[in-house]
């Protein structure tokens, strides 16, 4: 059938509809409406003259809208449906314009039919809109192609300001392998967060909050030794089987974040060690502010002083010069890097920050320093029975400049990045793990036991009695 014949036939049918409408025969009218819709759909698919057809339908609508005023609410409903369906993406606009015309024509006559047709149109169009607006195409990583990349929320609770200030929440994930995470500080986003980080050093909660999301990951963070934390709160029975991940300085944490990341330098620094040695007229320096510690380091140093001179600065020593570490770097040969606790993996900025100086560090702690620097680049007090034995070795090394310079040269190819670099890497790791929680699912039966059990020396064994 040719196009003009179809138009003529449609006009005849519409005239019949008008008559049926006047004499109030709704059942027959609805059957004719269904037939018209089918014809219009077929004509839309096969004809290039849809514009002419739409003008005809508009004219017919003008005729049918002369019904009684009680149909005003139906027209309003039709306008709402028309507004909804015309927000379709450009790729589907042409087809849906004709469909909207059908819905508009039908709804100006009978309300029940309007609701039926609107439902059909919305169901067929809405999934296309939703897919276009919320799905993000991300290039999969070759090593981790199975990771689904969606935005993850991470909330820090009772955050320690000193490490929150170590990074910018807005840009912390910019250099990560997986970047689709966001940081929040405080309780406002607790219920919607994919991960909640509790600062275990000073946790005020005696019992855990209600976990609204069943798959929410709870993380305990901390960078103080067990001797200086309130982790006993986590020993309460209510906290058992609640913690999923740990994020601490300990290297066996789910997310290990040591006080520094040590990198190999590509370009070896050119140092004049002869000139460096010229000004080093003093032996041992130590800067300390916490005098009473579990490690009894003050007592150890007092015993060391019996063999070799030690200059103590800070609150536990003499007055502090303005450029203290500049002065130490220039005039001293050795620096005491003594931790306040002898605990597993507990190595702080007292070691990492001072390795940048042109002095030989003497370590005393519970961590394995060789995991970060070559053993030839520092002196570990652990290798000596007591402070007297260490002091005798230092006096001998003081008289051998060649042996001393070897210590300095052994560390010149390494550089300690500060804590902000380490914490940012830890957050990158957390973000990546959140996108693959099935693999990284974990539950600590007793976090407090994991944190404290046999991980620290309650009494040092190198003190002379």
Q: What is the pLDDT of residues 42-51, one digit of tens each?
A: 444 444 444 4
Q: Decide: 317 and 297 in contact? Cβ < 8 Å.
A: no
Q: How far is CA 213 from CA 185, 192, 196, 204, 389, in A?
A: 18, 7, 11, 22, 58
- Band the pLDDT of 266: cuts 50, 70, 90: confident
Residue with tokens 């002369």: 66
Considering the domain 268-416 in this protein, what is its CATH number? 3.40.50.11660
Contacts of 422 (CB under 8 A, 6+ apart): 257, 258, 259, 260, 261
| Intervals of CATH 3.40.50.11660 along the chain | 268-416
pLDDT of residue 190: 95
Q: Is the pLDDT of residue 303 over 70?
A: yes
What is the percentage of the chain residues whose pLDDT exceeds 70?
A: 68
pLDDT of residue 432: 95
Q: How far is CA 139 from CA 149, 180, 427, 428, in A?
A: 9, 13, 21, 18
Identify which has the larger pLDDT, 40 or 293: 293
The structure tokens listed for 349 are 């900025």
pLDDT of residue 38: 52
Q: Is the pLDDT of residue 287 over 60?
A: yes
Q: Is the pLDDT of residue 118 over 50?
A: no
pLDDT of residue 148: 53
Q: Is the pLDDT of residue 443 over 50?
A: yes
Q: Is the pLDDT of residue 141 over 70?
A: no
The pLDDT mean for the chain works out to: 77
Average pLDDT on 278-304 reads 96
3-state secondary structure the chain: CCHHHHHHHHHHHHHHHHHHHHCCCHHHHHHHHHHHHHHHHHHHHHCCCHHHHHHHHHHHHHHHCCCCHHHHHHHHHHHHHHHHHCCCCHHHHHHHHHHHHHHHHHHCCCHHHHHHHHHHHHHHHHHHHHHHHHCCCCCCCCCCCCCCCCCEEEEEECCCHHHHCCCCCCCCCCCCCCCCEEEEECCCCCCCCCEEEEEHHHCCCCCCCCCCCCCCEEEEEECCCHHHCCHHHHHCHHHCCCECEEEECCCCCCCCCCCCEEEECCCCCCCCHHHHHHCCCEEEEEECCCCCCCCCHHHHHHHHCCCCCEEEECCCCECCCCCHHHHHHHHEEEEEEECCCCECCCCCHHHHCHHHCCCEEEEECCCCHHHCCCHHHEEEHHHCCCHHHHHHHHHHHHCCHHHHHHHHHHCCCEEEECHHHHHHHHHHHHHHHHCCCCCCCCCECCHHHHHHCCCECCCCCCCCC
Average pLDDT on 270-295 reads 95
Identify which has the larger pLDDT, 363 or 84: 363
Identify which has the larger pLDDT, 373 or 168: 373
Q: Is the pLDDT of residue 37 over 90?
A: no
CATH topology (fold) of 152-259+428-452: Rossmann fold (3.40.50)
């Amino acid at each position: 059938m040719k196009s003009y014949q179809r138009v003529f036939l449609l006009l005849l049918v519409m005239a019949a509809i008008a008559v049926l409408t006047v004499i109030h025969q709704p059942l027959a009218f609805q059957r004719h409406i269904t037939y018209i819709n089918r014809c219009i759909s077929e004509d839309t698919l096969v004809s290039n003259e849809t514009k002419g057809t739409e003008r005809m339908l508009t004219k017919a609508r003008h005729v049918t809208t002369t019904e009684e005023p009680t149909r005003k609410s139906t027209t309003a409903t039709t306008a709402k449906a028309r507004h909804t369906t015309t927000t379709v993406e450009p790729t589907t606009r042409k087809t849906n314009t004709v469909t909207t015309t059908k819905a508009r024509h039908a709804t100006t006559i009978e309300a029940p039919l309007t609701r039926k047709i609107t439902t059909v149109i919305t169901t067929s169009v809405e999934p296309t809109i939703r897919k276009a607006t919320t799905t993000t195409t991300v290039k999969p990583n070759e090593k981790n192609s199975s990771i689904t990349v969606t935005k993850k929320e991470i909330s820090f609770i009772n955050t320690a300001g000193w490490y929150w200030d170590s990074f910018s929440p807005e840009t912390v994930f910019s250099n990560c392998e997986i970047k689709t995470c966001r940081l929040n500080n405080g309780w406002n986003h607790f219920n919607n967060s994919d991960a909640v980080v509790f600062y275990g050093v000073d946790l005020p909660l005696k019992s855990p909050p209600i976990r609204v999301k069943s798959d929410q990951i709870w993380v305990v963070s901390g960078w103080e030794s067990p001797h200086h934390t309130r982790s006993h709160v986590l020993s309460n029975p209510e906290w058992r089987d609640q913690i999923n991940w740990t994020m601490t300085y300990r290297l066996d944490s789910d997310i290990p974040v040591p006080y520094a990341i040590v990198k190999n330098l590509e370009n070896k620094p050119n140092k004049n060690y002869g000139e460096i040695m010229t000004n080093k007229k003093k032996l041992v320096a130590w800067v300390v502010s916490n005098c009473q510690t579990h490690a009894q380091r003050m007592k150890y140093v007092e015993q060391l002083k019996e063999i070799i001179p030690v200059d103590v600065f800070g609150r536990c020593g003499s007055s502090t010069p303005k450029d203290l570490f500049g002065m130490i770097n220039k005039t001293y040969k050795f620096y005491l890097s003594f931790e306040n606790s002898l605990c597993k993996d507990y190595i702080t900025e007292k070691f990492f920050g001072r390795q940048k100086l042109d002095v030989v560090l003497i370590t005393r702690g519970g961590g394995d320093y060789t995991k970060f620097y070559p053993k030839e680049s520092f002196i570990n007090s652990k290798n000596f029975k007591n402070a007297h034995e260490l002091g005798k070795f230092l006096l001998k090394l003081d008289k051998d400049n060649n042996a001393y310079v070897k210590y300095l040269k052994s560390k010149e190819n390494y550089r300690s990045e500060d804590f902000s670099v380490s914490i940012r890497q830890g957050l990158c790791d957390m973000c990546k793990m959140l996108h693959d929680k099935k693999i990284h699912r974990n539950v600590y039966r007793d976090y407090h036991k994991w944190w404290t059990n046999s991980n620290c020396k309650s009494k040092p064994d190198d003190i002379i009695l």
